Amino acid sequence: ILLCGGDKSSQRRDIAKAKQMAKEI
């Protein structure tokens, strides 16, 4: 998942969230 803008900390959090969501599916 690519994010436009945002700092690295929020990007890492979003990536972790995306991974968790992918795991649940």
Among positive and negative, which fits the CA dihedral 19, 23, 24, 25? Answer: positive
Residue 5's pLDDT is 56
Which has more pLDDT, 1 or 8?
8
Instruction: Read off the pLDDT of residues 5-24 as tens digits, 9 standing for 90 and up.
Output: 556 666 778 888 888 888 87
Residue 8's pLDDT is 64
pLDDT band (50, 70, 90) for residue 3:
low
**Per-residue CA distances from 11 to 1, 16, 17, 24 (Å):** 10, 9, 10, 20
Q: Rounded to whole angstroms, how far apart are CA atoms 5 and 13?
A: 14
pTM metric for this prediction:
0.45
Phi, psi of 6, deg, nearest 5 = 85, 150
- Which tokens is 24 given? 């649940």
